[in-house]
Amino acid sequence: MSHAESYAPEALEGRVVLVVDATTGIGRIITIRLCAAGAKVAVVGAEHRGRGDDAATNAAFLCKELAEIGMIALPYRADIERADTFRTLPAQIAADLGSVAVCVVVIPAAPGTGERTAAYRSMSATVAAALPPGARHIEIDMADCTEGHEEAAHGLVDQLLHCRPQSC
C-alpha cells in the first residue's frame, strides 16, 4: 500500500465513491488510490457464478487493511445476477457514508461467451439509474483497456482529482 502517499489527502476529502468489483486488479488499485486521496470508498465485491473466491470477504479484508492505516472504506456485497442488490446499494451507502458522488464500475474482460460481461453491463446500468442526481458514473471495460492496471488506475484517479466537486 505504498501508493497511499501519492496524493494530497484533501483532494477528495469526504467525497463518497462507490467502486464495484473493487477487491482485485484495477478495482483494488483504484480503491486504494481514492482512499489515499481522502475519499470515503464503498468497496463492493461483485459476486457471480464462477467466481473462485468470496467477494464479500475480500471486500471486508481490504477495508480492514485500509482502516488500519487511517483510511475510510466500508465493504458491501452485491450479486451481479440480482439487480435488486445494486438498485438499493446507493441508498445503503448514503445511510452509512453519505451521498454517492462518483460510481466506478469495473467490467472484467470475461473469457468465453460474454454472458458475464453482459451481466456486468446490466448491473452497471442498474446502479447508474439508482445514483443520486448529479452523481458521476464511470464504467471501465477491461476488454478495452490497452494500458496496464496501474496506468489506468492512475489516469482515472488523476481525472477525479482534477475535476471540481460540483462537476464530478
Using DSSP, state whether 15 is helix, strand or coil: coil
Q: Does the pLDDT of residue 2 top 60, yes or no?
A: no
Q: Considering only CA atoms, which of 154, 160, 100 is closest in space to residue 128?
A: 100
Average pLDDT of the residues in 17-41: 89
Task: Give the other-Cβ count within 10 Å of 141's Cβ.
Answer: 15
Cα–chain center distance at 51? 18
Using DSSP, state whether 37 is helix, strand or coil: coil
Average pLDDT of the residues in 63-68: 92
Task: Give the other-Cβ count within 10 Å of 54's Cβ.
Answer: 14
| Domain range summary for the chain, segments of one domain joined by + | 2-167
CATH number, span 2-167 = 3.40.50.720
Average pLDDT of the residues in 154-166: 63
Q: Does the pLDDT of residue 1 top 60, yes or no?
A: no
Distance CA 108, CA 18 (A): 17
Banded pLDDT at 3 (limits 50, 70, 90): very low
Q: Does the pLDDT of residue 12 top 90, yes or no?
A: no
Distance CA 120, CA 92 (A): 20
Position 118 scores a pLDDT of 83
Chain segment 99-154, per-residue pLDDT in tens: 999 999 988 776 655 777 888 888 899 999 999 999 989 888 877 766 666 676 66
